[in-house]
A and B are shown apart, each in its own frame.
Chain A
């Protein structure tokens, strides 16, 4: 009786708020015990000397002239300067699509467009770029921002989706020209432009092959199944560089005399065949995660196997493996640097070439570090995206 009264009289309090002062935080996170304290002090001394050394090197000792005076060829290689507007047009197109999409969907894609926006902004204000570059970057930035706000007002989802699907063919058309515009053959593609194109071609072209291989591996027909298993395991068992050697040395032999392919196309074929095997394993993971009930339900509805695969199974399977596929994209993006070994001048190959120029003797560190930073920015942005998608799909939490 008495007890109940006490209970009703008291107001219900929320749990006490922990006041974390700065010193409390320090104590909890850095100096919680004697060995933690020792460790913190030792690590901070080490880190301080490393960071101090790095910063003095970057701002005082390093001579960045190798990067600033070769910026154009590092980025776009031998691509003719008069035709560069075509590349810029593709970037502006990408910026507009990203801007619209970020306005419409307003999620992870916004972070990506912020990334592209800041990249454009930073390359626009770099002191050593040409006036043309500056103008194009700011056009891209403006369209990105305008697109974002228009997208918020008018959600034209279908148009934008179609735009994304058409982006790749349009970009290839503009960059190559195919005779409609003055043709810029693949032999003139180079630098970071080539790196991006190699990675995109590899991922786009290997996607259908990978899906077919994954479906084939789960097929009930033994010949198809074992053929797919053999292909996937064979490719996954050997290093990419041997596949690139095969494609650059042996492909002409296999195709006979009639077909002429240049070095870059051969590397693209090699990268595609390689990536397809890895993509197939990712897709297979998604296929295995689909509950049996989905198959049974579509059979009960009377769907034939191809219809079931296209409309019931694949959409669910592919959706759940998006993070893994972004991871695969990062991997192939990094692996495109291997084409340097078979003599193709991508950004790394270009960096190696300019480092050998006697004018820039002893500046290898600067130029290779620049290449590393470029790759880091893109890969980090992509892996950040993939983590966010993973969270929003709830794949990790299941």
Chain B
């Protein structure tokens, strides 16, 4: 018998042929699309260069700006303003969403019926309605329906609620702030070492050494000491006032309606998801661990801190990372309420200059950078908490 396999069924050649076919198909498709795009751009008289970033933006960004910006600045600076705004809302959002999410998640496992069910209802409501709808409700139905700045609601002439934003008293750094800060940083470092030292003593001797009282003392010292040295507080308090022209606030910290709406919506929405992650993380810890901890006579707070949480972290970190990434990506919805973040600024530039491909590339690169940095940090944290196996 002389049966030779045809060469395309050869186990060594088949994969190469398949891949070649795949590359050719993808290549033709790409060529078609790019060719179309290039001819289209040529027809419209646009180029693919990024030199437009250096020309004058000639549009103003109203409201939130972390750096100085005016209409005479360049496009690149406008993009930087947007980038920083995204960063601000994402970082604040992640911090608040984590705090509220953890509280809600623990409340869902509480033995108090009321707390358990309140948390459940909260989570279900905020998880099952679209973020954009929530954001628009906060913006146009809550923040913008606050009274005009002239007849604002105010509490003790220090906190103002109006449709121009919410103004609250804020700390204003003075020239000795850095002395205070450095003492407090030193105090925190000292407290960590004291804690470790006292815990070590407690483990070695088996006697109670009251580590938390020591830590408290160290921290107290780091506050008393700079007070004695500088004879003044760390900050002066800046209390908001209404501008004489009656259209804005002076001093304090002003939360603009769009920023408030974006932050509140992102925090509420994401914390509902985080609550579920925390709950499943805690429930994912082996029941035997809890029983063993109880039989060793640990208090419930100690058990939570030393036995349950270190194991729950491991389950919680990967889904937490994706929630943080989602929050960052979702901050792009702020374009709908006029908060000048990356997509909103990018969209304005895109409409004004027609450089669609360049602007979208810039946005994509920015978001991919956020994603990569967040996953990198979370991966480091993940490694740190992972089970050390023998």
> A-side interface residues toward B, CB under 8 Å?
28-30, 32, 36, 39-40, 43-44, 47, 220-224, 227, 234, 236-242, 245-246, 249-250, 252-257, 330, 334-335, 337-338, 340-341, 348, 352, 355, 362, 364-365, 368-369, 371-372, 375-376, 379-380, 383
How distant is A331 from chain B, measured CB to nearest CB, in Å? 10
- B209 CB within 8 Å of chain A: no
Q: Interface segment, B55-63, B148-156, B250-258, B326-334?
A: B326-334
| Interface residues as binary, B356-370 with A (CB distance below 8 Å gives 1, 0 otherwise) | 110010011001100
- B118 CB within 8 Å of chain A: yes
Residues of B within 8 A of A362 (CB): 145
Q: Out of A39, A224, A355, A375, name the residue touching B112 (CB < 8 Å).
A: A39
Known: A47-B118, A221-B15, A223-B22. A250 touches B36 (CB 8 A): no
Q: Given contacts A223-B19, A255-B33, list 10 more A-B pairs with CB under 8 A.
A: A32-B112, A238-B329, A239-B329, A239-B367, A250-B356, A252-B40, A257-B40, A369-B137, A376-B128, A376-B129
Q: Out of B113, B124, B127, B133, name the residue touching A337 (CB < 8 Å).
A: B133
| Interface residues as binary, B138-165 with A (CB distance below 8 Å gives 1, 0 otherwise) | 0011100100000000000000000000
* Interchain CB contact under 8 A, A372 and B19: no
> Closest 6 A-B residue pairs measured CB to CB?
A379-B128, A29-B113, A256-B36, A365-B141, A239-B329, A334-B130
- B194 CB within 8 Å of chain A: no
Q: Out of A242, A257, A376, name the residue touching B360 (CB < 8 Å).
A: A242
C-alpha spacing A107/B86, complex, angstroms: 46
Pair count A-B, CB < 8 A: 152
How distant is B263 from chain A, measured CB to nearest CB, in Å? 17
Residues of B within 8 A of A234 (CB): 368
How distant is A26 from chain B, measured CB to nearest CB, in Å? 9
* Interchain CB contact under 8 A, A253 and B141: no
> B-side interface residues toward A, CB under 8 Å?
15, 18-19, 22-23, 26, 33-34, 36-37, 39-41, 111-115, 118, 124-125, 127-134, 136-137, 140-142, 145, 329-330, 332-333, 335-336, 343, 347, 350, 356-357, 360, 363-364, 367-368, 371-372
Q: Which residue of B lies closest to A195 (CB)?
A: B130
How distant is B148 from chain A, measured CB to nearest CB, in Å? 14
* Interchain CB contact under 8 A, B124 and A238: no
Known: A39-B112, A43-B118, A372-B137. A348 touches B130 (CB 8 A): yes
Can you pick out 29 interface pairs between chain A and chain B where the beta carbons lie within 8 Å of each other? A29-B111, A30-B114, A36-B111, A36-B112, A43-B115, A47-B118, A236-B371, A237-B367, A237-B368, A238-B329, A238-B364, A238-B367, A239-B343, A242-B343, A242-B367, A245-B343, A245-B356, A253-B36, A253-B37, A254-B33, A254-B34, A256-B36, A256-B40, A334-B130, A338-B333, A340-B132, A362-B145, A368-B133, A383-B128
C-alpha spacing A371/B19, complex, angstroms: 48
How distant is A80 from chain B, measured CB to nearest CB, in Å? 27
Residues of B within 8 A of A30 (CB): 112-114
Q: Which residue of B lies closest to A381 (CB)?
A: B128
* Interchain CB contact under 8 A, A341 and B113: no
C-alpha spacing A379/B133, complex, angstroms: 14
Q: Which residue of B lies closest to A216 (CB)?
A: B22
C-alpha spacing A43/B113, complex, angstroms: 11
Residues of B within 8 A of A245 (CB): 343, 347, 350, 356, 360
* Interchain CB contact under 8 A, B19 and A222: yes
How distant is B126 from chain A, measured CB to nearest CB, in Å? 10
Residues of B within 8 A of A341 (CB): 132, 333, 335-336
Residues of A within 8 A of B133 (CB): 337, 348, 368, 371-372, 375
